[in-house]
Structure 1
Amino acid sequence: MSDLSLTSPEIPLKIESLWPEILKRVPVSQLGICMCVSKKWYSLITSPVFISSHIKFISQTSCNLFLLRSFTKKNPQKNPKEFYYICSDTDAATVQTLETLTLKTFICPFKTRNGLQFRMVGSVNGVIYLSDDYFSTRYTFILWNPLVNCFIHLPKPRACFDLIGPYMTASGFGYDSVNDDFKVIRIVYPQRSDGLDETPPRAELYSVNEGKWRWVSGDNVHYCTFDKEWKQCFLKGSVHWVAYERFGEENNASHKSNLLLLFNVEKEKFMMMKLPLELREVCPLGLLISECQGMLCVNHYEMTEMVIGELAHYNLWVKKEYNKFTSWIKVASVDIRHSVVHEAIYLKNNGELLAASKSRHLLSYDPKTSKVVVLALGHPALYEACSFVESLAFLNKDCKNMRRFLLEEDENGSSDDEELSPEKLQSSKIGKLCSYLNQMDKFRRQF
């Protein structure tokens, strides 16, 4: 192999070909700065090919991040606050608080119509799926990437109250790596005259690449899911929900045979997965699905027999190997009646549980030693958490951008310039140029 001299014309070409490989390893917050370096880098970073390769690289590498959402409404007279925290999930030796765990904080820029929080359906590859549907039939669905401040408002779905009347619904969110496409799936169960959900349900899918809803086949779905929580998770190319098979009809109908209902976003097919034997015949209302550390998790809450709705025990089941049924194991068990832990939120990499107390304080709980560390004090209405990956998703899409890059000019600025003397006109242009550069600096620091 011949050596290339430093003056060889091939050297710049080889360096140029390395930039995509180098830049895709750069965190999103730093890529915002890189975009301001040159036109070439801006074109490269905002290109669909680079964004897709960056998502693929980040999703395949171990990223110790999770997203924590809190909703606080201390005073009913004041506007509620919905915060999103991107947190580090490293086993640090320092004393942990919410401040030390948090890398970046965002206030939700959207408002619900009833003043409640959005339903955070899930987060995939840096995009958060929000739905404004608590205690109402609304069709406000938002896909939001907070790191690049880009979002997409989804159009009204096909399956709606106007078309099918009363219904129950579940929703999921996933990423099609084959077609580089984010997809939203809705399962809609029309209500029968006897009050039960009709099966098979109607199913529709929204594709970001296509920009519209379309029907998909759900003829093989003979199971029901719950509208109350809409808990879902995305793992191994499929959306997962807790579902149950209904036996009997009308007054004799019962909820038994719990399982997991799956939807593969690449094949656009529904499938099923078995739960461990211990969870198949419990009340499905106490089962919540989640994904932590790249593993499938099922949170099982047992109710007390004396007081309806009062929690008694909490068990966390994890599937260590996704394609192996026998890999289901119980990794945590908490007696809620005699513990400060009231609700589990997220399983951290070190095996500790992110949890909430009855007083709504944020805790870190070690199931092995029962050690509790208070991370944050306060009285938020709720906490939620899920895995999170930084990405540039939607940066190149034709979507709305929260970062408005506008020059601060008077409405009649252009006509006023025509009446200025040459010296004052030049001074005015310099002033506008300085304003432009100042806003460019703000644009760079917002990343």
Structure 2
Amino acid sequence: MSLPNELIFDQVLSRVPVKYLLRCGCVSKEWCSVIDSVAFIKKHLKNAVECKTNGVIFVADNDKFYLTDNESVCDDNVGVIETNDPVRSVLSGADFLGAANGLMCFCKNKKSEFILFNPSTRKFRKVSSIPREFAGIDGLVEVALCGFGYDRVNDDYKVVRIGQFAGGNQFYLVVVVYSMRSDSWTRIQDVPGNICITPERGRFAGGVLYWLAMKYQVDFRGSIVGFDLGLGRFTEVPCPAVRGKVFMLVSAGESLCVLDNYNGSSMDVWLMNSAGMENSWSGMENSWYRAFSVEKPGALGNFKFVKPVAFSESGKCVLLEVDRAKLIWYDLVKKAAKNIRIRGIPSKFDSYAYTESLLQLTEGKQLDKSSHGTKEKKQQKKREDFLSKGFRLKL
């Protein structure tokens, strides 16, 4: 007895890795149409987020990018795939900005050009240019800060560019936001004027982009500033009670982390509470908790720097990048480490987690429209191009 198609799509295919789904589209026109539909894409993404099926992208010092999927990170002695043309040429010289729900964002040419990229499907899209009327302040030198994330309120993906200008004892911010849904830029009028944001990319977590900042009116006290992508406004977030003098802000999947390098003897990792977003908006101090510490030396041996990349589905293990040279699964309960042997990995790299997804990046396409609304002939050509490129890129 065969299973009904509804059950196959909803309970089976929606849990299959993307690289296999791309091949499943060859089974029939019905399968291809369902896999390409918005409803199925959202169902598949929901399952991937819940199961924490994280792949990893490696950014090497030679501007090359390497990919490995969730199966490779969980298994041992596997290899990476280097991005091929046309993706490699488009991303050449680009800087990584962030990832959200399977999409990644890169910037080029002094943060004036942006590219959206789905590493699972190897599809990319160039973002439209920033309008000239949103230019900076004449006569002042600009420091550009950027970030990328998912607006869960409007089901949209957004790029935020902050032009920071210094004049006398005052900082001026020119903030523009790109919406993937509308394919347009808007300028944010209500921006803070008493902070200096550190020149780092924004860290995305829970619908908000975060930066470390200094408030110059109170002896340059360190703080964290967040920009809510749904509300379109800034707010200050209380810092955790770190023990050291130097700390960093990173994101591991959907978790916002503060790394506290305490006296060279340990690395404390602070996480924002699940209710931390609401707490931070209301100014509460208990938005953070110390999740774990890595001793020096210890299970990882002697190290200079450790960065969380992603947490396991159970939350009992964390994937750590150590000294930009290796990845390690660290058991938070047993305090034990397991090296991940990945063939073809560059000697020095920055690693970032991404969630596998089928999200599409068709030019000018609204997020709430499905591909089966087009004419059959155009749809078939799109599918054939999609699948042929996928196989050529060794998916």
- Same fold by TM-score greater than 0.5: yes
> Which residue number in structure 1 is paired with residue 302 of structure 2?
340
> Which residue number in structure 2 is paired with residue 110 of structure 1?
88
Determine the C-alpha separation between the residues in 2 that align with 1:374 and 1:56.
27
Segment drifting more, 138-147 vs 320-329: 320-329
Distance change (3 Å), C-alpha of 1:376 and 1:28: closer
> Which residue number in structure 2 is paired with residue 77 of structure 1?
none
- The DSSP-based 3-state class of the residue aligned with 1:218 is coil
Distance change (3 Å), C-alpha of 1:441 and 1:371: closer
> Which residue number in structure 1 is paired with residue 370 of structure 2?
none
Determine the C-alpha separation between the residues in 2 that align with 1:52 and 1:439.
19
Partners of 2:325 and 2:347 within 8 A in 1? no
Distance change (3 Å), C-alpha of 1:164 and 1:106: farther
> Which residue number in structure 1 is paired with residue 149 of structure 2?
174
> Which residue number in structure 1 is paired with residue 216 of structure 2?
246
Aligned length: 355
Partners of 1:124 and 1:175 within 8 A in 2? yes
Partners of 1:234 and 1:291 within 8 A in 2? no
**Amino-acid identity (%):** 21
Partners of 2:240 and 2:289 within 8 A in 1? yes
> Which residue number in structure 1 is paired with residue 36 of structure 2?
46
Distance change (3 Å), C-alpha of 1:341 and 1:167: same
Structure 1 residue 127, shift from structure 2 partner: 0.9
- Aligned partner letter, 1:82: F
Q: How does 1:133-148 map to 2 (within 5 A)?
A: 137-148=110-121
Structure 1 residue 335, shift from structure 2 partner: 4.3
Runs of 5+ in structure 1 lacking a partner?
A: 1-5, 7-11, 74-79, 249-253, 304-310, 400-436
Distance change (3 Å), C-alpha of 1:45 and 1:164: farther
> Which residue number in structure 2 is paired with residue 255 of structure 1?
220
- The DSSP-based 3-state class of the residue aligned with 2:45 is helix
1:154-204 CA distance string (max 9 Å, x none)? 233244468674212321211223433211112221221x3x6614x2211
Partners of 2:57 and 2:354 within 8 A in 1? no
Partners of 1:48 and 1:396 within 8 A in 2? no
- The DSSP-based 3-state class of the residue aligned with 2:252 is strand
Structure 1 residue 260, shift from structure 2 partner: 2.4
> Which residue number in structure 1 is paired with residue 320 of structure 2?
354
Q: How does 1:176-195 map to 2 (within 5 A)?
A: 176-192=151-167, 194=168
1:41-60 CA distance string (max 9 Å, x none)? 3233223343334333433x
Structure 1 residue 25, shift from structure 2 partner: 3.0
Determine the C-alpha separation between the residues in 1 that align with 2:343 and 2:72.
20
Partners of 2:105 and 2:117 within 8 A in 1? yes
- Across the aligned residues of Structure 1 and Structure 2, the Cα RMSD in angstroms comes to 4.0
Distance change (3 Å), C-alpha of 1:239 and 1:441: closer
- Aligned partner letter, 2:252: E
1:295 and 2:255 are equivalent in the alignment: yes
Distance change (3 Å), C-alpha of 1:219 and 1:438: closer
Structure 1 residue 328, shift from structure 2 partner: 1.2
- Aligned match for 2:205, one of 229, 235, 255: 235
- The DSSP-based 3-state class of the residue aligned with 2:197 is coil
Structure 1 residue 342, shift from structure 2 partner: 1.9
- Aligned partner letter, 2:270: W
- The DSSP-based 3-state class of the residue aligned with 2:171 is coil
Partners of 1:244 and 1:255 within 8 A in 2? yes
Q: How does 1:142-157 map to 2 (within 5 A)?
A: 142-157=115-130
> Which residue number in structure 1 is paired with residue 356 of structure 2?
390
Determine the C-alpha separation between the residues in 2 that align with 1:442 and 1:185.
31
Higher relative contact order (CA 8 A, sep 6+): 2
Distance change (3 Å), C-alpha of 1:327 and 1:395: closer
1:84 and 2:54 are equivalent in the alignment: no
Determine the C-alpha separation between the residues in 2 that align with 1:235 and 1:438.
34
Determine the C-alpha separation between the residues in 2 that align with 1:146 and 1:326.
33
Partners of 1:356 and 1:383 within 8 A in 2? no
Runs of 5+ in structure 2 lacking a partner?
A: 280-285, 366-383
- Aligned partner letter, 1:346: P
Determine the C-alpha separation between the residues in 2 that align with 1:259 and 1:316.
17
- Aligned partner letter, 1:46: D
- The DSSP-based 3-state class of the residue aligned with 2:21 is helix
- The DSSP-based 3-state class of the residue aligned with 1:210 is coil
Determine the C-alpha separation between the residues in 2 that align with 1:164 and 1:381.
42
- Aligned match for 2:235, one of 265, 271, 275: 271
Partners of 2:175 and 2:191 within 8 A in 1? no
Determine the C-alpha separation between the residues in 2 that align with 1:18 and 1:163.
60
Segment drifting more, 22-31 vs 142-151: 22-31
Partners of 1:345 and 1:385 within 8 A in 2? no
1:242-288 CA distance string (max 9 Å, x none)? 2232226xxxxx421x3322222222222332111337x945xx422
Q: Give me the TM-score of the superposition, normalised by structure 2.
A: 0.73
Distance change (3 Å), C-alpha of 1:242 and 1:71: same
> Which residue number in structure 2 is paired with residue 67 of structure 1?
56
- The DSSP-based 3-state class of the residue aligned with 1:392 is coil
- Aligned partner letter, 1:297: C
> Which residue number in structure 1 is paired with residue 101 of structure 2?
125
Structure exhibiting the larger radius of gyration computed from Cα positions: 1
1:52-96 CA distance string (max 9 Å, x none)? 34333433x2224242413144xxxxxx5332333458776xxx5
Structure 1 residue 20, shift from structure 2 partner: 4.8
Determine the C-alpha separation between the residues in 1 that align with 2:108 and 2:97.
10
Partners of 2:161 and 2:175 within 8 A in 1? yes
Q: Give me the TM-score of the superposition, normalised by structure 1.
A: 0.66
Partners of 2:18 and 2:357 within 8 A in 1? yes
